[in-house]
């Protein structure tokens, strides 16, 4: 509950502050006359892994060597979005900063970002769902994706074979996978789950769309109740938890994360992001697994995409240098960044050069970038997803029926949206 309240308060702060920061400007007046004077630009980032820190520093150094432009990296360790919002309010934003797709619509709508539609070369080379995550309704581009993660199906092959199955027995569709988990559960040791799941809307938006429901309507309101197929999808999770064959690692197993449960041989199947790979290799080197695509839902391929882009402040005093930096980091310098940081490149040509699709462990994740759904959908998604998470939790707890929970979530989200409008 505290987490949800914090999210809503952050959204309110973001809405109030950014709306006062300025209106949109066309890309035609973005040039700032940097001239030939040596430039220093500021880059605001959040704290990250040692590999990503090294990758950023070395790729930035390559940019500096090539261009003569200095980059001052500012690491913000706490409340990144709040800190960036406060910088805009104080009219002292960084020249360039990390922008999550999740909050991008709010920043875009507020008019504080530079339209860079005409600045980025060979835009068809990007995985289009990633690029589209940073565009407004008119197709103008306000950030360039630097990397991404997708969801895929991880299968513990040792536990699977011990129960008498092979990887070929694992269904590729959601309904089949649920039924398989139900049949598998009695054949597992006590304390081992056939499948584990994440209960947040962030993991299920693509499945909702595949069942025919866009939970964010054209007028920006919440809709969790108009599709029976969507309700059936979520009911399968509730039923699976009740039956003990689809469990949440934190709620039901006392584990810190899905990766910990899977790595500790406490789960056969999980649908998880590629961020778990490092932990599986370093902390759980003895676990054996295969990675398959996320299951189809309603006969449609689907997965979630989580991406971050480089955005430029509209009021930057060093627009030319900032644009050059973003172009380099998402162009010529992207392979260096991706190889050093271990993140996935957003350009298809770079992925091909790195031969990522030939890596059986990464293939399902990489292919998901072409058809997945980015975790972004309008300025009110934070409100809508927070309401969903609260009330879906109640359904999982058995406090209310799923239909009642979804109706309550819908009503709560729409009341908050109306209050903010």
pLDDT per position as a tens digit, 291-314: 999 999 999 999 999 999 999 999
Q: What pLDDT score does 271 carry?
A: 98
Ordered by start, the domain boundaries in the chain are 13-149+305-374, 150-303+380-420
Shared fold status for 13-149+305-374 and 150-303+380-420: yes
CATH architecture under which domain 13-149+305-374 falls: 3-Layer(aba) Sandwich (3.40)
pLDDT per position as a tens digit, 372-383: 999 999 999 999
Q: What pLDDT score does 38 carry?
A: 79
Residue range 150-303+380-420 forms a domain whose CATH class is alpha beta
First to last CA, the chain: 24
Q: What pLDDT score does 296 carry?
A: 98
The tens place of each residue's pLDDT in the chain, 421 residues long, gives 222 223 333 333 344 444 444 443 333 333 444 545 679 999 999 998 899 999 999 999 999 999 999 999 999 998 999 999 999 999 999 999 999 999 999 999 999 999 999 999 999 999 999 999 999 999 999 999 999 999 999 999 999 999 999 999 999 999 999 999 999 999 999 999 999 999 999 999 999 999 999 999 999 999 999 999 999 999 999 999 999 999 999 999 999 999 999 999 999 999 999 999 999 999 999 999 999 999 999 999 999 999 999 999 999 999 999 999 999 999 999 999 999 999 999 999 999 999 999 999 999 999 999 999 999 999 999 999 999 999 999 999 999 999 999 999 999 999 999 999 8
Q: Phi/psi at 106 (nearest 5 deg)?
A: -65, -45
Q: What pLDDT score does 37 carry?
A: 66
Q: What is the mean pLDDT of the chain?
A: 92
Tokens representing 417 are 């949206």
Q: How far apart are CA 17 and CA 89, in angstroms?
A: 6
Q: Dihedral angle at the C-alpha atoms of 327, 328, 330, 334, nearest 10 degrees?
A: 170
Q: How far apart are CA 190 and CA 267, in angstroms?
A: 11
Task: Report the residue count for the chain.
Answer: 421
Give the residue ranges of DSSP H helices in 31-152: 50-67, 80-89, 104-110, 128-132
pLDDT per position as a tens digit, 197-218: 999 999 999 999 999 999 999 9
pLDDT per position as a tens digit, 240-262: 999 999 999 999 999 999 999 99
């Amino acid at each position: 509950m505290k987490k949800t309240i914090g999210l809503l308060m952050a959204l309110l702060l973001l809405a109030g502050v950014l709306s006062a920061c300025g209106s949109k400007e066309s890309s035609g007046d973005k040039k700032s006359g940097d001239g030939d004077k040596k430039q220093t630009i500021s880059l605001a980032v959040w704290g990250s892994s040692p590999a990503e820190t090294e990758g950023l520093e070395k790729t930035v150094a390559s940019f500096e060597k090539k261009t003569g432009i200095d980059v001052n990296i500012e690491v913000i360790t706490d409340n990144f979005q709040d800190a960036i919002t406060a910088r805009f309010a104080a009219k002292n934003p960084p020249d360039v900063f990390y922008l999550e797709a999740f909050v991008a619509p709010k920043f875009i709508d507020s008019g504080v970002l530079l339209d860079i539609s005409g600045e980025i070369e060979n835009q068809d080379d990007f995985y289009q769902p990633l690029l589209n995550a940073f565009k407004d309704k008119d197709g103008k581009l306000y950030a360039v994706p630097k990397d991404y993660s997708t969801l895929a199906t991880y299968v513990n092959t040792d536990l699977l074979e011990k129960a008498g199955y092979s990887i070929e027995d694992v269904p590729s569709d959601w309904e089949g996978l649920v039924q398989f988990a139900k049949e598998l559960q009695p054949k597992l040791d006590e304390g081992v789950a056939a499948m584990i799941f994440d209960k947040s809307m962030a993991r299920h938006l693509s499945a909702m769309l595949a069942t025919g429901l866009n939970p964010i309507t054209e007028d920006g309101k919440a809709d969790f109740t108009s599709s029976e197929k969507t309700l059936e999808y979520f009911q399968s999770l509730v039923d699976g938890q009740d039956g003990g064959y689809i469990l949440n690692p934190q709620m039901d197993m006392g584990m810190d994360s899905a990766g910990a449960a899977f790595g500790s041989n406490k789960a056969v199947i999980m649908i998880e992001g590629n961020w778990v790979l490092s932990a599986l290799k370093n902390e759980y080197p003895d676990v054996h697994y295969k990675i398959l695509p996320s299951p189809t839902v309603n006969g449609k391929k689907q997965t979630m995409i989580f991406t971050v882009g480089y955005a430029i402040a509209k009021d930057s005093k060093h627009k030319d240098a900032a644009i050059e930096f973003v172009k380099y980091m998402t162009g010529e310098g992207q392979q260096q960044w991706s190889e050093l940081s271990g993140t996935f490149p957003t350009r298809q040509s770079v992925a091909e050069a790195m031969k990522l699709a030939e890596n059986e462990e990464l293939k399902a994740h990489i292919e998901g970038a072409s058809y997945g759904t980015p975790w972004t959908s309008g300025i009110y998604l934070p409100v809508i997803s927070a309401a969903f998470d609260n009330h879906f939790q109640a359904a999982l707890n058995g406090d209310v029926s799923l239909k009642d929970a979804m109706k309550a979530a819908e009503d709560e989200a729409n009341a908050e949206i109306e209050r903010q409008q």
